[in-house]
Amino acid sequence: MSSNLTRRSVLRGTAVAVAGAALAVPAAAAVANSAAPAMDHSGHEGHEGHDGHSGHGPQPFDETYQGRHIVGQPAMGGHMAHHGGFAVTIDGKELHVMQNADGTWISVVNHYQTFADPLALTRAAVDKLRGAALVPIATA
Amino acid sequence: MAVRKNQATLTATEKRNFVSALLELKKSGRYDEFVRTHNEFIMSDSDTGDRVGHRSPSFLPWHRRFLIQFEQELQRVDSSVALPYWDWTADRTTTASIWGPDFLGGTGRSRDSQVTTGPFAYATGKWNINVSVDSRPYLQRELGSAVRQLPTRAEVDSVLAMTTYDMAPWNSASDGFRNNLEGWRGVNLHNRVHVWIGGQMATGVSPNDPVFWLHHCFIDKLWADWQRMHPTSPYLPGGNTADVVDLKDTMRPWNNVTPADMLDHTAHYTYDR
């Protein structure tokens, strides 16, 4: 296993590369797809278009959903950039998101259920929060 | 030697002792350290980077070690206590006795998903949610809401029949026993149960709900059952795999225990069947 230091360097490199690709090709895909069914984890072959590694980053968004201001955009670096090169906020507070190998997405609020794209993921988080504010999670 | 029993078979005294030990760990602050550790791993384990606790071969030995450590903390409070397991293929309704007021309490109320029954209800003053992703200080559940059905015994058996422990690329895209049990592909066992419960159990801070331990205890038992069914199938990978815990690599955060050390659970506890 690599050390933490090595891991960080590797992840940062990946994230920067993905973010760059996302900027270069401003994503035609991901128009408000509904959440993937929780039980359907077979047949994800159709998600190449959402896969940051193939050069098509997820589509940025900035909207009001259920009274919450939700923003998703390519991450430009820093600690938000670790997982998939995409950063999401709800009312200005970071929602930790991560991309799976098959191109689907999860967040710290819905961590065991996959969603087709960050917008569907973020809307699901708003539904689950029922008005509560996200708080930063202390990590060692 | 601790014997881990099916939660449905616990006596009233055993339930009471288990709950009391949980409340004592919560009071001392020790409980929340387990929540924090779990969330740190869930946020940092990634398919394309270093992965230890989840979405990787070490999902099973990592949680086995995590549960042993937690069980030891419970036993420091009450040496008679062992972790029970929840067979969600059998006790699969929202009215099962596991959700009774004498044990884990029931689902959350419709207004805000707040659990209001049982020993972990917020109003008791004994179960505040301190390590959280949002501002709500109370335990939440939405049993059977986000996904209707818990896995069936037939679905479990279909995963137990898989002969290969894990496969490249050793992450959420893998085929094989580990990932089908974890639930990132196939019929979806472990992940689906988290989603079925809802509330904190669906989040990175899932150990905030005491049912986390009973769920993972059953996942651990299914690993033991699988080993018994496939005695010649080894833990994989065996060595030299980037970002992944090989058989004899040490696992964070302990750094002194390997998957090889965790293969035989009978050194630590046995199951009732």
Q: Model confidence over A22-32: pLDDT tens digits? A: 333 333 333 23
Residues 6+ apart with CB under 8 A from B34: B66, B69, B70, B207
In a domain, A73, yes or no: yes
Model pLDDT, residue A25: 32
Mutate to test the interface with A, among B48, B159, B195, B241 (most CBs of A within 10 A): B48
The answer, yes or no, to whether residue B221 has pLDDT greater than 90, is yes
Q: What is the CATH number of the domain that holds A69?
A: 3.30.1880.10
pLDDT band for position A138 (cuts 50, 70, 90): low
Residue A117 forms part of a structural domain? yes
A111 touches chain B (CB under 8 A): yes
Mean pLDDT of chain B: 98
Least confident of A33-37, A71-75, B166-170, B178-182: A33-37
Q: Is residue A44 part of a domain?
A: no
| pLDDT (mean) for B191-198 | 98
Residues of chain A with C-beta less than 8 angstroms from the C-beta of B46 = 11, 82-83, 98
pLDDT at A114 over 70: yes
- Of B49 and A78, the structure prediction assigns the larger pLDDT to B49
Could you tell me the pLDDT band of residue A57, with boundaries at 50, 70 and 90?
A: confident
DSSP for A36-92, written as a single string: PPTT--S--GGGGGG-GGGT-PPPPEEEEETTEEEEEEE--SGGGGGTTSEEEEETT
- Of the partner residues A7, A112, A137, the one whose CB lies closest to the CB of residue B50: A7
* CA distance, residue B17 to nearest chain A CA (Å): 31
Percent over 70 (pLDDT), chain B: 100
Q: Region B148-168: what's the mean pLDDT?
A: 98
- For the ranges A41-45, A84-88, B24-28, B228-232, which has the lowest average pLDDT? A41-45
Cα separation, A4 vs B84, in Å, equals 35
Task: Read off the pTM.
Answer: 0.86
Instruction: Sheet with A61-65: list strands edge to edge.
Output: A61-65, A68-74, A86-90, A93-95
Structural domains of chain B in order of their starting residue, each with its CATH number: 2-271 (1.10.1280.10)
> At a CB cut-off of 8 Å and minimum separation 6, what does B192 contact?
A38, A39, A112, B147, B150, B151, B183
Interface list for B 148-177 with A (CB within 8 A): 169, 171-173
Let me know if residue A21 belongs to a domain: no
Residue A84 covered by a domain: yes
Q: Residue A75 has what pLDDT?
A: 87
pLDDT reading at A5 higher than 70: no
Establish whether this prediction's ipTM goes over 0.90: yes
Residue B242 with chain A: CB contacts under 8 Å: 2
Q: Which residue has the tokens 């008679």?
A: B80
Number of domains observed in the structure of chain A: 1
**B193/chain A closest Cα distance in angstroms:** 9
The whole-angstrom separation of Cα A139 and Cα A78 is: 15
Res A40: pLDDT: 38
Question: Is A80's pLDDT higher than 80?
Answer: no
Question: Could you give the 3-state DSSP secondary structure of residue B174?
Answer: coil
Q: In whole angstroms, what is the distance from residue B22 CA to residue B31 CA?
A: 8
List CB contacts (< 8 A) between B135 and chain A: 132-135
Checking if the pLDDT of A136 tops 90, the result is no
Question: pLDDT value at position A135?
Answer: 94
Does B39 sit within 8 Å of A1, measured CB to CB?
no
Give the CA count within 13 Å in the CB-facing half-sphere of B218: 23
Rg (CA), chain A: 15
**Bridge pairing between strands A61-65 and A68-74:** antiparallel
- Average pLDDT, whole number, for chain A? 69
Domain range for A95:
61-129
> Taking residues B212-224, what's their average pLDDT?
98
pLDDT score, position B85:
98
